[in-house]
Amino acid sequence: MSQLSYAVVGTGAIGGYYGAKMARLGREVHFLLHSDYEYVREHGLCVCSCDGDFALPQVNAYGDASAMPKVDVVLVGLKSTNQHLLRTLLPPLLHENTLVVLIQNGIGLEADVQEWFPGQPLAAGLAFICSSKTEPGIINHQCYGSINLGNYSCRSASLFEAVLNDFIEAGIDAHEVNYAEARWKKAVWNMPFNGMTVALQTQTDKLLKHPATRQLIYDQMMEVIGAANVLGIDTIDESFAQKMMQMTDDMVPYSPSMRLDYDFRRPMEIHYIYSRPIAEARAVGFEMPRLEMLERELMFMEKEYLGH
């Protein structure tokens, strides 16, 4: 049995869910919280899940990273709009071999964190889950819940395997995947659906029920696949877009994280979900016109309520 210790940085809908599953398994887990720190410290965490509800009446809750112990694994569930905070949040938690798993959306996340922490083992966590957290200490898990782990710079095969096995033992459908392929596969879904639910003020199911927007979503998916192919990832093709369309047809009506950020007037993850992949594709001569238009619309909408 693994004796790895964990920290969750960003105990929201995603980090909170996976961290709670690890804690329920019996692993040592330390949760960094922000707005609901006092509530969770007093009442714990509750996961209302399609797979069965469970509660953790007492958890290791912290409002300040500097008070947390060093751990073997850090699960980062922060929105990428707060990525700069990792420069100060991570150091208290790290020893030389701590594996940092970025369970975040977008392209280029690991490259930036590696610049800040040279030599630190990093991995990508690609979550396929419908989950939200709109109340203090309560995570609403609606469907799915699997996670793929892509090794970015972890030199210890045994550590990476131990983390993967912990996810599996916690009852999570977890697999090791190729890093670059996995990041771009996630983008095939994220880039169309996150922004389109904001721009058209709707949910995933309605986008696919209308023929015009269904075709637009598909065309956007094919732009992402085209970019990935030009960047040397030739394992993603049209069949994957069809698979993602079918998966979303089968989902409950869903508001992705960017739509919730818009609804609550929070900064949206435009940089890593849109600007960064668009720039990487353009650097090798591939344009993504539909998604670039969506990026600009999102920038306009965000500026309207943030004012900068």
Q: Catalytic: which of 79, 133, 185, 186? A: 186
Cα separation of 11 and 48, whole Å?
Answer: 15
d(CA 9, CA 120) in angstroms, rounded, equals 16
Residues for the chain: how many in total?
Answer: 308
Which distant-in-sequence residues (6+ apart) come within 8 Å of 23 by Cβ? 29, 45, 56, 59
Place of tokens 């659906």: 193
130 and 252 in contact (C-beta within 8 Å)? yes
Q: What is the dihedral sign for C-alpha 108, 110, 111, 115? A: positive
Strand partners, 76: 9, 102
DSSP assignment letter at 97: T
What are the tokens at 202? 């709707």
Question: Is 209 among the catalytic positions?
Answer: no
Burial (0-12, 13-18, 19+ Cβ within 10 Å), 177: middle
Which active-site residues does the annotation give? 186
